[in-house]
Structure formats: C-alpha cells, structure tokens
A = this chain, B = another copy of it.
Amino acid sequence: MTRPRRPPDDRDEYRGLRLPHRTRLTPQRRAVLDLIADREDSFTAVDLFQEARRRKPKLGLATVYRTVDMLRRSGSVRPLVGDARPAYVRCEPGHHHHLVCLSCGAVEETELCGAPSPAELRKRYGFRAEGHELDIYGTCSRCS
C-alpha cells in the first residue's frame, strides 16, 4: 500500500472536531475526543475524566485538560462563562453565541448577535473593541 501523504490542505480533524496541525492521535486523545464528539450538552473537565476512565482506567486528568485546551485553541470547544461551575461546550469554529438552558444544561448555538459594533464603540467611547463574550441563559424548548 502506498504511503498516504498528507495533502497540504488536509484538515486535521477527528469526528468533526478540528485539531491543531500535526496533532498525534493517541488512544487517550481518541477516548476524550469521542466523548466530546458525542456530547450534546455542556460538560466539565472532570465529567470527561470520569467517563473516559470507565473505558481507559489509567487515563490521567492532565491529559483531559490538555485535550480540552487543544480543542479550545482550535475553536472546537468554548468555555461557558457566567455559570456556577466552569464548563465547556463543543462548538463550530467561527463567531457565534450560546443559548444555555438553566434547567437541563443543554447548549444550543446561535449566529444571532447584536453586540455593539466596533465602529459605534469607537465613536462613543474611543474604545477599540477586539472581541466579546456573550452567553444567553434561559429555558430551552424541551424544558418549557
């Protein structure tokens, strides 16, 4: 079998999760990535750790943190702010925000955003905006 060469535009990705270029796909990472890929709602690092340990009992907590952080850097998970516990959600890279259900924890993405425009902030406050965080809390359709 001819050695598969990685084409220059081959996107490093695993089950829809974008990975940094030339990431090694170890069994440990695969275990954590699988859990995140299957996940519908928000999760904490410890959630993942405990679930992953059921299949890989020797998996280390640091590896979970390293893997989550890797995905955060490449845009496939995002930390959820404003919640009591520090949690993450799987998400598509690109600008969007989250609808977080306070009842069941489900997280839905929305591209709706109406954050004040950088131009307006510039004009009104002389503030040069670089980015923003917006999470919306409430009750999802299934819970209400």
A residues bordering B, Cβ < 8 Å? Answer: 81-82, 99, 101-102, 108, 110, 112-116, 118, 120-121, 124-141, 144
B108 touching A127 by the CB < 8 A rule? Answer: yes
Q: Are B121 and A130 in contact, CB atoms less than 8 angstroms apart?
A: no
**A81-B81, A82-B81 known; A112 vs B128 contact (CB < 8 Å):** no
Ordered by A's residue number, 29 sampled pairs between the chains whose C-beta atoms are within 8 Å are A82-B133, A99-B129, A101-B127, A108-B127, A110-B121, A110-B125, A112-B120, A112-B124, A113-B115, A113-B116, A114-B116, A115-B136, A116-B136, A121-B136, A125-B140, A125-B141, A126-B140, A126-B141, A126-B144, A127-B136, A127-B138, A127-B141, A128-B138, A129-B136, A130-B138, A130-B139, A133-B133, A133-B135, A134-B134
CA distance in complex: A129, B110 (Å): 13
Kindly identify which residue among B81, B113, B124, B125 contacts A133, using a CB–CB cutoff of 8 Å. Answer: B81
Q: Could you tell me if B134 and A128 are in contact, using CB atoms closer than 8 angstroms?
A: no
Q: How far is the CA of A125 from the CA of B139 in the complex (A)?
A: 10
Structural contact, B135 and A132, CB atoms closer than 8 A: yes
Please name all residues of chain B whose beta carbon is closer than 8 Å to the beta carbon of A110 when the two chains form the complex: 116, 121, 124-125
Q: Is there an interface contact between A102 and B130, defined as CB atoms closer than 8 Å?
A: yes
A144 CA to B127 CA in the complex, in Å?
A: 8
Q: Give the contacting residue for A127; candidates B113, B129, B134, B140; CB below 8 A.
A: B140
